[in-house]
């Protein structure tokens, strides 16, 4: 399913993984402040795959019932950022954030709002870091909650969506809590082309700074 090698050069893949890693590491630091427990991250994966393949990657090892907070982003490249976890764990996540003293009923009442707010903080931390590193501005939509399997999250069933996407993901686990999930970024082909140019500029910029003795 992976055809990344033909679409992205090694240094482009490396750059995207590193930039995503900085974004997600900042996001994990925000989540850590909210839950009061350390957040453990995997190393990032960067692939150009079909939406269906992306969907299978997030379902792997999980129940297919997932819940996601998603936000669209627009700028020189556009796409969606998602905070995804198994549905069974969303209440545990909310409880980690609002505190153990709240009853299950309170937590259920708060769930939707707490998830949206958590997603908003985490995804903004991630995307703002990426935008800053690349020195571009990105606009973000309000967060929305999606429930369903991987195909629902990634709109696999819509006919217009049979193309390939750039799929970056990192999985996270909250220490001492039964909560694990993913942070994923999904971008279509036009954005991949734009992103390749921006990453190329960024890489060239590293060399120029050196040549000119510029302090950046």
Partner 1 sequence: MQYKALIVDDSKLARMVMASAFRRLGPEWELIEATNADDAIDVIAAQAVDIALIDFNMPGIDGLELVARIRKTHPKMPLAVVSANVQDEIIGRARELNAAFVTKPLTDEALGAFLSGAVLRLKKAAQ
The region of 32-40, 58-66, 109-117, 178-186 touching partner 1 under the rule CB under 8 A is 32-40
> Does residue 133 touch partner 1 according to CB under 8 A?
yes
Structural contact between residues 83 and 68, judged by C-beta atoms closer than 8 angstroms: yes
d(CA 216, CA 211): 12
Which residues between 103 and 132 bind partner 1 (CB under 8 A)? Answer: 129, 132
> Taking the complex as a whole, how short is the minimal distance between the CB of residue 129 and partner 1, in angstroms?
7
> Does residue 43 touch partner 1 according to CB under 8 A?
yes
Structural contact between residues 182 and 170, judged by C-beta atoms closer than 8 angstroms: yes
The bridge status of strand 139-140 relative to strand 164-174 is unpaired
Contacts with partner 1, 193-212, as mask; x by CB under 8 A: ----------x--xx-xx--
Residues 6+ apart with CB under 8 A from 166: 16, 46, 47, 48, 79, 185, 186, 187, 188, 191, 192, 195
Chain contacts with partner 1 (rule: CB under 8 A): 10-11, 14-15, 17-19, 21-23, 25-26, 28-29, 32, 38-39, 41, 43, 129, 132-133, 203, 206-207, 209-210, 213-216
């Amino acid at each position: 399913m992976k055809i990344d090698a033909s679409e992205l050069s090694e240094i482009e893949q490396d750059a995207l993984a590193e930039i995503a890693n900085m974004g997600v590491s900042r996001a994990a630091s925000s989540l850590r402040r909210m839950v009061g427990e350390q957040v453990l991250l995997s190393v990032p994966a960067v692939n150009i795959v079909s939406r269906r393949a992306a969907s299978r990657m997030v379902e792997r090892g999980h129940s297919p019932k997932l819940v996601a907070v998603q936000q669209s982003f627009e700028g020189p490249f556009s796409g969606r950022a998602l905070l995804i976890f198994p549905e069974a764990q969303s209440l545990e996540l909310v409880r980690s954030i609002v505190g153990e003293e709240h009853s299950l009923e309170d937590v259920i009442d708060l769930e939707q709002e707490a998830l949206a707010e958590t997603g908003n903080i985490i995804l903004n931390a991630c995307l703002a870091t990426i935008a800053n590193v690349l020195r571009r501005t990105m606009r973000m939509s309000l967060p929305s909650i999606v429930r369903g399997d991987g195909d629902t999250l990634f709109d696999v069933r819509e006919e217009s969506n049979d193309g390939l996407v750039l799929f970056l993901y990192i999985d996270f686990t909250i220490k001492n809590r039964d909560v694990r999930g993913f942070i994923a970024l999904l971008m279509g082909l036009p954005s991949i082309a734009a992103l390749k140019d921006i990453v190329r500029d960024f890489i060239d910029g590293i060399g120029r700074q050196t040549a000119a003795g510029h302090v950046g």
